[in-house]
Structure 1
Amino acid sequence: MTSTLQTPIGDRFGLKYPIFGFAHSIDVVCALAEAGGMGVWGATRETPEEIERGLAEIRRRIGSRPFGIDLVLPRGMPKTADKAAIEAELPEDHKAFVKGIYEKYGVPAATRPGMRSRFLRSDEVAEAQIAAVLASDVDLFACGIGAPADAVAHAKADGKTTLALVGSARHAEAAIRNGAEIIVAQGYDAGAHTGQIGTFSLIPQVVDACGDIPVLAAGGVATGRHIAASYALGAQGVWLGTAWLTTHEHALQDVLVEKLLAAGSDDTVISRADSGKTLRQIRSAWSEEWAAPGAPAPLKMPYQDILVGDLLGAIDEHGVEPLMHHPAGQSIAYSRERKSVADVVAELVGEAEETLTRLS
């Protein structure tokens, strides 16, 4: 029987439910496909070779079910991946500040490169990542920041559906001009890279700007009631990321899961300290140190990546609890116990269908 949540975008992909889930975990992506939604693998921090292997693994595990991949493709990156040149330009006061965090919290040196510093964000790397995506049979190509017209055109020519995440109607219009076929209206509530407009204010503006282009709602979506509200605002489906962080499949470190489960909406904070871009995350000594009086302003991407990448890697590798943190949206308040992805989807669908039936 067709769910009352079904919309044209769900039909377009043959989904049971128009629930799109962003995750850095391949296990979450596969579990979402099996639960009737669409998983979208966040692969920005993966090498082109890792992207190729990861996409092949997902396809092997889920068969013909649809899935997507998300890359963050900001403008203004260096042309080539010359890490030494970036390191040479890092200001001395910033390097001293990072050294002070190492010393204050007794952080041992990392034994391997950090996630943000193991390779340099550059146009050269982005082009190789895009090439790996285009060579695959992935169904959906999502652009987290920026929607380069050339990449979008190549993906569409290859039969892939293209999607862009936006934080304003103006950005939606630009993404559509570049060829994006689906728009995610991501409100201020959202985790990770987020804009300045609240979800309830943003979605109707983006829906109106998009005309016949389908819109997904993101930012603070954590319950079936949120899904019903998104439909009322004109969205054809939802895009969730924070909801999967505490699932068994995501398999984050126990200390991070405990912090996430204990966090409320007001325990998240927007900081530029991780990448140089605004990033909503759970509050920690890390965000407090960078917000303290006298702390240097974070550098722009990718300089901040290289400045703090090894330190962030060491913090996670050695489990330095006060500094450990994770991107999360204000909807983290609704995550109170560990569940499976299938259970999260079932609860979302059940409450959304009940709410829509009651309202009708």
Structure 2
Amino acid sequence: MTRGGTSRLRTALCDRLGIRHPIFGFSHEPDVVVAIAQAGGFPILGLARDAPEHIPAIVADVERRLAGLPYGIDLMLPSRVPQQADLDSLRRNLPREHVEFVQALRQRFDIKPPSRPSFFTSQARSEALFQAQIEAVLGSSALGIATAIGLRPELIDRARSLGKVTFSLVGSVRHAQKALALGVDVLVAQGYDAGGHTGPIGTLSLVPQVIGAADGKPVLAAGGIATGAQVLGCLGMGAQGAWLGTLWMGAKESHTPRALLQRLIASGSEDTVISRAHSGKPCRVVRSDWIDAWAQAGAPAPLDMPLQQVLTGEVFASIHENDDPRLIYEAAGQSVFGIDAPTCVADQMRKLVDEMEDAWDRLRRCARP
């Protein structure tokens, strides 16, 4: 390829989606999404942390700035949540032991209440919330619709009927088979290395198994990916692209709080840990004093989703609002090693593509006639 142009290393899925590089980028930040698209990748806008009434305005702004460039939207739709969720009622019925433990931590760390509302202080995950998010997302012009935790047959059917490409993040062959049975178009094999909610199988072990089960349907690799050489390795295994999330938090477009950015820059893969303290489900996060407190002797076991975020949502909002360097954390994968300085998405994409090309050239030199 011409450096900065369209990659030589393209796949059929790149052609199907109309993108220049086999790089898929997940972010909750609209500015990151726009920048990835402009740099030739396929961005996926995470809207699981947004109230349904806010989604149409977010989407409209993103689509205006994308000016027709393709993108996707991701929702998290776990099962076993209440049909309806009244936040005040849920708070009143939290176990006393957990309430007292969190209150003791708030006093210990001098955590002030947040000064403004956020998703974590105003919402509790429920089927009603998910359905409202789904309706808002299906009204978008997004080319792709991805689901992280959970599958909803109706969403997949409706999205495909609207001409959208459906993606499902899977952490095992069993999950992949369920998604395929529902007609999902693209499987995202997300390994244990990944940030956020993830399963027990490492990316290098999971990807070939999911490709084997996919019966020719495209598979993306996700989890712990931070370099172009890793992207090429994923293509070499048979994936049609790589899905990256953590890396973009180092870009200025992510608006990562300063203390969190410094924590990410200072962290290596071993500084991430899988904890249920964030959401109630196993979730890989970058460690902080808040996360470590939940692993100390005598700490109660985190509550199941959605109750853990009902219990701790105000704390999460506060430590981000106040940019607390002791406590701030976020979902982050073992790919955090790739964040070594503040940067921007355009430079990150350029580096990934150049590294992918360099790795391809090294591989060719290794080949024997």
Task: Please name the residue that 2:138 is paired with.
Answer: 134
Q: Please state if 1:92 is matched with 2:75.
A: no
C-alpha contact 1:188 1:196 (8 A) present in aligned 2: yes
The 5 Å alignment of 1:263-274 reads: 263-274=267-278
The 5 Å alignment of 1:144-155 reads: 144-155=148-159
1:132 CA displacement: 0.6
Q: Please state if 1:209 is matched with 2:222.
A: no
Deviates more, 1:25-34 or 1:333-342: 333-342
Give the one of 2, 5, 9 matched to 2:9: 5
1:78 CA displacement: 0.7
SS, match of residue 211 in structure 1? coil
1:33-91 Cα distance to aligned partner (Å, 9 max, x none): 00000111111010112111111111100111100110000001110132233223210
RMSD: 1.1
Distance 1:60 1:5 in 2: 29
The TM-score normalised by the length of structure 2 is: 0.95
Distance 1:89 1:233 in 2: 49
Task: Please name the residue that 2:67 is paired with.
Answer: 63
C-alpha contact 1:147 1:180 (8 A) present in aligned 2: no
The 5 Å alignment of 1:191-230 reads: 191-230=195-234
Q: Please state if 1:20 is matched with 2:14.
A: no
The 5 Å alignment of 1:155-174 reads: 155-174=159-178
Unpaired runs of 5+ residues, structure 2, are 365-369
C-alpha contact 2:144 2:166 (8 A) present in aligned 1: yes
Task: Please name the residue that 1:253 is paired with.
Answer: 257
1:117 CA displacement: 3.0
1:334-360 Cα distance to aligned partner (Å, 9 max, x none): 211111101111111111122123313
Give the one of 190, 193, 209 matched to 1:189: 193
1:175 CA displacement: 0.9
C-alpha contact 2:286 2:331 (8 A) present in aligned 1: yes
Distance 2:247 2:319 in 1: 24
1:157-194 Cα distance to aligned partner (Å, 9 max, x none): 11111100011111011011122100100111111111
C-alpha contact 2:51 2:119 (8 A) present in aligned 1: no
1:251 CA displacement: 1.1
Task: Please name the residue that 1:291 is paired with.
Answer: 295
Task: Please name the residue that 1:353 is paired with.
Answer: 357
C-alpha contact 1:191 1:241 (8 A) present in aligned 2: yes
Task: Please name the residue that 2:244 is paired with.
Answer: 240
C-alpha contact 1:114 1:314 (8 A) present in aligned 2: no
The TM-score normalised by the length of structure 1 is: 0.98
Distance 1:274 1:32 in 2: 28
1:114 CA displacement: 4.6
1:25 CA displacement: 0.4
Give the 4+ runs in structure 1 shifted more than 4 A: none
Distance 1:216 1:284 in 2: 31
Distance 1:100 1:217 in 2: 41
SS, match of residue 281 in structure 1? strand
Corresponding pairs, count: 360
Distance 2:227 2:320 in 1: 30
Task: Please name the residue that 1:119 is paired with.
Answer: 123
Task: Please name the residue that 1:75 is paired with.
Answer: 79
Given residue 130 of structure 1, which amino acid in structure 2 is its aligned partner?
Answer: I
1:227-274 Cα distance to aligned partner (Å, 9 max, x none): 111111110101000110010110111111111001011111111111
1:321 CA displacement: 2.1
Distance 2:349 2:324 in 1: 33
Q: Please state if 1:47 is matched with 2:20.
A: no
Unpaired runs of 5+ residues, structure 1, are none
SS, match of residue 322 in structure 1? coil
C-alpha contact 2:144 2:167 (8 A) present in aligned 1: yes
1:320 CA displacement: 2.8
C-alpha contact 1:183 1:215 (8 A) present in aligned 2: yes
Distance 2:66 2:118 in 1: 30
Q: Please state if 1:336 is matched with 2:340.
A: yes
